[in-house]
């Protein structure tokens, strides 16, 4: 397979409601899509980098430029390109995992469409549907939070995840437990705490949470290991897990008993599968995180989340959770589950009208003749 043309598209997709976390409030998604054309098939992928470098050092504009100027040119001259060959070809470029993940995903989508094989089948999915949870941002009041949670439970979501930060943790968790009883509930700190908060975080033990996600800085594995020794709530790592090797090291250090796998954060779906395998071998549970993806990224995440080691509810919610109009046919949970696309590749393509409405910029990347 050889790349014949490549185009980067920038979209502005408004969110149905502001989404607030410890690193800011989002009201829209600055989406970066990659569209590749080969003689055999087309491939689509979404880069999950956010508009500003707050969740990670990567951000949308930088990912756009590194894909156009550094990553794609390294692939254009490869006559028999496959997804497995993308990471070795791009190894000379340091970092930029989210950008690399998008490039690999687009190549993989084209490869599988040409072969008539779904991404789920290729990765080794064993489940036709994925249990869908929902992530709830930080609210201005407990009343507002409880109203939001009630709405999601009414929609059938199987698990609630509350974003927390210092000053917004014990009260919202306690209020949610009082109001809704023994629902599957977990919290996500997005590294908002320091080691000095360890005893405070231990007070969450009384609420029977599924897990506490990434309380400390992504590089502070030792702090997570210390916390794991003093709390009964399972500690989950997110931002700290940037590769299968990082997952192995964190597990060996006793820093976590659960891992959130985000393909963009680890550099692609092939590395995400390796993270899954490392965790499965160690008896560590995994679940699929989300980055407010459109239907392009959401479809691919569902295929990954259908692997056998994903035993906890995912963060892959329905399209309507974030968007009034998705750029693909919308994903809708039924009885708390979302079907894994069964078509070739990621199983979905952008809707032309929706894509045209949201696209604010296009860049064709020249392919040498």
Count of domains for the chain:
2
Would you say residue 99 lies in a domain?
yes
- Distance (Å, rounded) from C-alpha 89 to C-alpha 91? 6
Residue 41 shares a structural domain with residue 144: no
- Distance (Å, rounded) from C-alpha 267 to C-alpha 48? 11
Residue 212 shares a structural domain with residue 188: yes
pLDDT tens digits for the chain (369 residues)? 999 999 999 999 999 988 888 777 888 899 999 999 999 999 999 999 999 999 999 999 999 999 999 999 999 989 999 999 999 999 999 999 999 999 999 999 999 999 999 999 999 999 999 999 999 999 999 999 999 999 999 999 999 999 999 999 999 999 999 999 999 999 999 999 999 999 999 999 999 999 999 999 999 999 999 999 999 999 999 999 999 999 999 999 999 999 999 999 999 999 999 999 999 999 999 999 999 999 999 999 999 999 999 999 999 999 998 999 999 999 999 999 999 999 999 999 999 999 999 999 999 999 998
Are the CB atoms for 129 and 158 separated by under 8 Å?
no
Would you say residue 344 lies in a domain?
no
Residue 106 shares a structural domain with residue 134: no
pLDDT at 22: 75
User: Active-site residues: which are they?
Assistant: 163, 262
Taking alpha carbons only, the member of 292, 319, 330, 269 closest to residue 100 is 269
Residue 7 shares a structural domain with residue 139: no
Would you say residue 255 lies in a domain?
yes
Residue 279 shares a structural domain with residue 309: yes
Q: CATH number for the domain including 287?
A: 3.20.20.120
Residue 275 shares a structural domain with residue 361: no
Residue 137 shares a structural domain with residue 255: yes
Residue 50 shares a structural domain with residue 80: yes
Residue 300 shares a structural domain with residue 354: no
Would you say residue 88 lies in a domain?
yes
The whole domain housing 56 covers 3-116+349-365
pLDDT at 369: 81
Cβ partners under 8 Å of residue 295, min gap 6: 319, 326, 327, 328, 329, 330, 331, 348, 350
Q: What is the DSSP letter of 70?
A: I
Rounded alpha-carbon distances, angstroms, from residue 149 to 84, 122, 179, 265, 312: 41, 36, 10, 27, 19
Would you say residue 325 lies in a domain?
yes
Are the CB atoms for 350 and 13 separated by under 8 Å?
no
Would you say residue 287 lies in a domain?
yes
Residue 173 shares a structural domain with residue 111: no
Residue 208 shares a structural domain with residue 278: yes
Residue 102 shares a structural domain with residue 194: no
Would you say residue 73 lies in a domain?
yes
Would you say residue 207 lies in a domain?
yes
pLDDT at 329: 96
pLDDT at 18: 85
Cα pseudo-dihedral 150, 154, 155, 159, rounded to 10: 60
Q: CATH number for the domain including 41?
A: 3.30.390.10
């Amino acid at each position: 397979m050889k790349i014949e043309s490549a185009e980067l598209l920038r979209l502005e997709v408004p969110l149905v409601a502001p989404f607030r976390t410890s690193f800011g409030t989002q009201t829209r998604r600055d989406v970066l899509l990659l569209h590749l054309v080969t003689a055999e098939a087309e491939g689509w992928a979404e880069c999950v980098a956010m508009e500003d470098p707050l969740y990670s050092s990567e951000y949308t504009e930088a990912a756009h430029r590194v894909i156009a100027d550094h990553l794609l040119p390294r692939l254009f001259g490869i006559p028999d390109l496959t997804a497995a060959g993308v990471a070795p070809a791009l190894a000379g470029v340091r970092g930029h995992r989210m950008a690399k993940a998008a490039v690999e995903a687009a190549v993989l989508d084209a490869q599988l469409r040409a072969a008539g094989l779904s991404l789920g089948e290729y990765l080794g999915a064993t489940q036709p549907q994925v249990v869908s949870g929902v992530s709830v941002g930080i609210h201005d009041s407990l009343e507002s939070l409880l109203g939001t949670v009630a709405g999601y439970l009414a929609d059938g979501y199987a698990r609630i995840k509350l974003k927390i930060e210092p000053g917004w943790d014990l009260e919202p968790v306690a209020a949610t437990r009082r109001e809704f009883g023994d629902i599957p509930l977990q919290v996500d700190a997005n590294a908002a705490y320091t080691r000095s908060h360890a005893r405070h975080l231990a007070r969450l033990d009384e609420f029977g949470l599924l897990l506490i996600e990434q309380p400390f800085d992504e590089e502070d594995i030792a702090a997570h290991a210390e916390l794991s020794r003093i709390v009964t709530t399972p500690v989950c790592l997110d931002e700290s897990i940037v590769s299968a090797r990082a997952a192995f090291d964190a597990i060996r250090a006793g820093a976590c008993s659960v891992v959130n796998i985000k393909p963009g954060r680890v550099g692609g779906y092939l590395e995400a599968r390796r993270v899954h395998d490392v965790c499965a071998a160690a008896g560590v549970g995994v679940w699929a995180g989300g980055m407010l993806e459109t239907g392009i990224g959401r479809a691919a995440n569902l295929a990954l989340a259908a692997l056998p080691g994903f035993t906890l509810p995912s963060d892959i919610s329905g399209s309507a959770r974030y968007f009034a109009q998705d750029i693909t046919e919308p994903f809708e949970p039924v009885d708390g589950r979302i079907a894994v696309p069964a078509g070739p590749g990621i199983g979905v393509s952008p809707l032309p009208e929706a894509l045209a409405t949201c696209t604010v910029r296009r860049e064709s990347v020249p392919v040498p003749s």
